[in-house]
Amino acid sequence: MQCSECESAVYAHGLCQKHYWRKKRTGTTERTRLPAQGPCKADGCERKAFAKGYCSMHYQRLRAPLYTIWRNLRAKYPGAYDPCWDDREAFIDDVGMPPLAGSQLRRIDKSRPWSKDNCEWREPVGMKTPPKGSPDWAKYQLAWKYMRKFGLTMEDVDRMLAEQNGECPICLMPLMLEVEGKPVKVCLDHDHKTGLPREFLHDNCNKGIGQLADEPERCERAAAYLRKHHAEK
């Protein structure tokens, strides 16, 4: 005998094995779990759909709010968080939901364990999260670094670069300099006492003043020393 839904042999109740178990499981012989096709239907997301029309990230967010953050935090910081956070609901009660899309949960004092009083949601950096390994991934990580360490947005960074005319104030060379086809590393120098950012420098220039303890008098003596011996030549 042939299955009433297809041309396969009957397994039970006039249905082949596939359709029999599908009906037993879902109540119908029609497919209910269709493969996701096309891009994610979340606004602004271009990732490939994973389930129910959403990419893996947005699907997980809909399925279980904060599940991924809760899971990753416990895996990355074993024993360095409030023990009650082993329960996801307790974790959500303590940290709350992110205030804005793209907000990230950060520890306030890294020397202390994660807890309700030692974490906060930080505002997004103003750009969409690009896929890892893409050309914009390094820029995204840098944007988060500036936001986390100095409270600077990418608009602040662009303004600072414009004020410097795109040059390192020590060597006066362009910041976007390449040597042998490789870009020269650029650092955002900061005051080690106040923690406030100063200006963008080439990495070697930044290390140079750092080796001289950021002391103007010591740098001036070093300059005088070099001028003296340069003149002798």
Number of domains making up the chain: 1
100 occurs within a structural domain: no
What per-residue confidence (pLDDT) applies to 232? 61
Least confident among 16-25, 131-140, 151-160: 131-140
Task: Report the C-alpha gap between 45 and 102 in whole angstroms.
Answer: 12
What per-residue confidence (pLDDT) applies to 122? 81
Least confident among 43-47, 123-127, 144-148, 199-203: 123-127
pLDDT over 80 at 98, yes or no: yes
pLDDT over 60 at 233, yes or no: no
Whether the CA torsion 205, 193, 77, 59 is positive or negative: it is negative
Give the confidence band of 182 by pLDDT, cuts at 50, 70, 90: confident
- Distances in Å between the Cα of 123 and the Cα atoms of 13, 117, 126 are 59, 18, 8
Q: What is the mean pLDDT of the chain?
A: 85
Give the confidence band of 200 by pLDDT, cuts at 50, 70, 90: very high
Query: CA-based angle 41:69:33, to the nearest 5?
Result: 40
- Cβ atoms of 58 and 46 within 8 Å: the answer is no
Copy the structure tokens of residue 178.
């390449």
5 occurs within a structural domain: yes
- Distances in Å between the Cα of 140 and the Cα atoms of 42, 64, 104, 131 are 20, 26, 13, 10
Copy the structure tokens of residue 60.
């997980």
64 occurs within a structural domain: no
29 occurs within a structural domain: yes
Task: Report the C-alpha gap between 105 and 112 in whole angstroms.
Answer: 15
Tracing tokens 């096309």 back to the chain, one arrives at: 38
23 occurs within a structural domain: yes
Residue 20: give the domain boundaries: 1-33
222 occurs within a structural domain: no
What per-residue confidence (pLDDT) applies to 231? 65
What per-residue confidence (pLDDT) applies to 36? 61
What end-to-end distance do the CA atoms of the chain give, in Å? 104
- Cβ atoms of 110 and 77 within 8 Å: the answer is no
Give the confidence band of 133 by pLDDT, cuts at 50, 70, 90: confident
Q: Which residues pair with residue 187 across a beta bridge?
A: 201
- Distances in Å between the Cα of 71 and the Cα atoms of 67, 109, 172, 190 are 6, 21, 47, 35
- Cβ atoms of 201 and 170 within 8 Å: the answer is yes
Q: What three-state secondary structure class fits 170?
A: coil
Copy the structure tokens of residue 165.
């005319």
Copy the structure tokens of residue 213.
């303890």
Give the confidence band of 146 by pLDDT, cuts at 50, 70, 90: confident
The share of the chain scoring above pLDDT 70, in percent, equals 94
195 occurs within a structural domain: no
pLDDT in tens, 99-113: 877 788 889 888 999
The share of the chain scoring above pLDDT 90, in percent, equals 32
14 occurs within a structural domain: yes
